Structure 1
Amino acid sequence: MIRRGWLSSLLGLLVSACRPVSVLNAIIPSAGMVLKRDVAYGAHARQRLDIYQPRDLTTAPLPVVLFFYGGSWDSGSKQDYLFVAEALTSQGFMVVIADYRLYPEVKFPQLMQDPASAVFWLKQHIADYQGDPARLFLMGHSAGAHLAMMLSLNASYLAQVGLQTAAIAGTVGLAGPYDFLPLTSARLRAIFAPPEQVWTSQPIHFAHGQHPPLLLMAGLKDDTVWPRNTINLAQAVEASGGNVTLKTYAGYDHVDMVAKLARPFRSRSPLLDDITVWMRQYGG
């Protein structure tokens, strides 16, 4: 049995969702997964994705979850999220974790090009890996939740690759920044410039009724991305007649909202169960 004090120390290693979590991943069992690593969805070195299949395929094709990690739009790496892949494959999902170009190489709205291209690639090719392109879910944490939500709410990004938002079965946002104006740092102002267009970076401005089902989740102790981002977006979508489910977690901070998917932490957390139950409502 893993002692609670040791778990607390391990959770402390996840000071930021964007840091490597090799210590955590080292204790994540991978025997239940088959990994296809560094599959190209474009020509750039960061246009690569990892595909995790449950080793015991009892049914196929499988529902697919495309996960976008956080990192303030300027850092992150797909190999850090083995623990997310293990959590979701344990529930019978195929999991895809994609790298994407980051600031300063790209700024918003160019930041949206790679996530949209990854969705397009999956719709075209995931059937070759026994995934079901008709049951494609998006999921993201922090900045990754922002990317996933922008793809789901602003149809223009998927339109650029010839898709509609109906291509997405549903979207899960974990502790995402959706309503974060005014920009409070020079770095954010650089990422989301020019000032007269910065409103287009805010998912809340695209809340409407014609979008995929949304599951919005936030920890009420999050002081990195304030919970009001999630609550405000949920209220705006609901007011517009959209399909949205809001889940909040007392005592959870920003890191908890992804770390508690990991096997050492999830036995006392409803997070994974809440995600799984919701996705199964929509074809997962």
Structure 2
Amino acid sequence: MKKLVTLLSIVLLASNLLFGQLEDYTIHNNLSYLSKESISNDSLQRLNLVLPTKGDKYPILIWIGGGAWSYVDRKQEMDLAKKFAKNGIAVASIGHRLSPAIWRDSTLNTGIQHPKHIEDVAASVKWLYENADKYGYDRDGFFIGGFSSGAHLSALISLDSTYLKQVGLSHKLFKGIIPVSGAYDIIDYHNVLLNSDRPELAKLHVEAVFGDEKEDFRKASPITYLHNLSVPILLISDNNVYNYSRIFEERVRTTEFRDMQVVYSYHLSHGELWRNLSYDEESIYREIMINFIETNL
């Protein structure tokens, strides 16, 4: 009998792993958010969905990983997604088309420019909105956030109504915005790199992503659209990109909007904050994000 019970346990564990089901969450990998006619890069234009196994109508965090708009990998965000799901929050880890990044890796020499990345994000939001009932999360409990380049995209799609309007949705559908360690003024970002010890990054990085005109940078900057800021925002920054978040915060202070929380992690670098959010069993920053979602439902 003991051998039978052990064998049954192994079979059940294998079944759970095979179908992506674990005790606290269920995983749906590689879901395409575009019609077959609309796909231009099938491996990238997909999302991973992690759902709590308990309850239903739970909120969902639409999460865009970092990677300089050029080497974002939705699979690398799964540890973070699972930890949120264990706390009753669904997470959609979004993949999108990528820009070239020869400054980092000579093989990353092809790709797309803005606004293709954010058009993919908009398509994923539409798919998630339309499939809420199928997967059990709350259509009225949408939050969006991201890390680094994902922070920029999450802020931009929440403030510039253009992209969601193109897919028939309102940018006001989000209950809250959680950009973490991003750049929100691309004009400033370009200027900083021009005057850095690696000025070639202004062209090889920023211009490769956004074009080479100041107007291109302005249109791609979340800070341009602060007049549309109308839902709660949790702005988090590590010590490497403090100045980019500070510009955003100070500009918000000149408006009448006040529903913003600002958290600075002075003791963690860019990579350290991402690892803290993703891997640490105890993360004060992750707890702040979870509390922000629960408070603003």
Secondary structure at the counterpart of residue 245 of structure 2? helix
- TM-score with structure 1 setting the length: 0.82
User: How many Å apart are 1:252 and its aligned residue?
Assistant: 1.1
Distance 2:253 2:227 in 1: 8
Distance 2:253 2:92 in 1: 29
User: How many Å apart are 1:68 and its aligned residue?
Assistant: 0.2
* Residue number among 181, 196, 211 corresponding to 2:190 in the alignment: 181
User: How many Å apart are 1:30 and its aligned residue?
Assistant: 5.6
Distance 1:248 1:170 in 2: 18
Q: Check 1:281–1:239 CA distance in 2 against 1; reply closer, same or farther (3 A cut).
A: farther
Matches within 5 A, 1:108-123: 108-123=114-129
Task: Give the aligned partner of residue 234 of structure 2.
Answer: 215
Contact preservation (8 Å) 1:68, 1:98 = yes
Contact preservation (8 Å) 2:26, 2:51 = yes
Distance 1:90 1:113 in 2: 30
Distance 2:228 2:149 in 1: 23
The structure with the greater share of residues assigned to helix is 2
User: How many Å apart are 1:117 and its aligned residue?
Assistant: 0.7
Compute the RMSD of aligned alpha carbons. Answer: 1.8
Q: List alignment gaps of at least 5 residues for structure 1.
A: 1-28
User: How many Å apart are 1:106 and its aligned residue?
Assistant: 1.8
Distance 1:94 1:53 in 2: 5
Distance 1:229 1:270 in 2: 22
Task: Give the aligned partner of residue 275 of structure 1.
Answer: 289
- TM-score with structure 2 setting the length: 0.78
Secondary structure at the counterpart of residue 207 of structure 2? helix
Contact preservation (8 Å) 1:209, 1:237 = no
Distance 1:172 1:152 in 2: 10
Task: Give the aligned partner of residue 91 of structure 1.
Answer: 87
Contact preservation (8 Å) 1:30, 1:86 = no
2:134 is equivalent to residue 134 of structure 1: no
Matches within 5 A, 1:13-24: none
Q: List alignment gaps of at least 5 residues for structure 2.
A: 1-20, 100-109, 195-200
User: How many Å apart are 1:210 and its aligned residue?
Assistant: 3.8
User: How many Å apart are 1:266 and its aligned residue?
Assistant: 4.1
Task: Give the aligned partner of residue 167 of structure 1.
Answer: 173
Task: Give the aligned partner of residue 147 of structure 1.
Answer: 153
* Residue number among 151, 159, 164 corresponding to 1:158 in the alignment: 164
2:30 is equivalent to residue 38 of structure 1: yes
Distance 1:241 1:181 in 2: 28
Task: Give the aligned partner of residue 208 of structure 2.
Answer: 190
Higher relative contact order (CA 8 A, sep 6+): 1
After superposition, the C-alpha distances for 1:67-94 in whole angstroms (9 at most, x for unaligned) are 1001111112211122111221121101
Distance 1:200 1:166 in 2: 19
Task: Give the aligned partner of residue 78 of structure 1.
Answer: 74
Task: Give the aligned partner of residue 10 of structure 2.
Answer: none
Distance 1:40 1:219 in 2: 32
Secondary structure at the counterpart of residue 277 of structure 2? coil
Contact preservation (8 Å) 1:63, 1:94 = yes
Task: Give the aligned partner of residue 6 of structure 2.
Answer: none
After superposition, the C-alpha distances for 1:11-33 in whole angstroms (9 at most, x for unaligned) are xxxxxxxxxxxxxxxxxx96422
Distance 1:53 1:216 in 2: 25
Task: Give the aligned partner of residue 97 of structure 2.
Answer: 101
Distance 1:68 1:262 in 2: 13
Contact preservation (8 Å) 1:85, 1:95 = yes
Q: Check 1:209–1:237 CA distance in 2 against 1; reply closer, same or farther (3 A cut).
A: farther
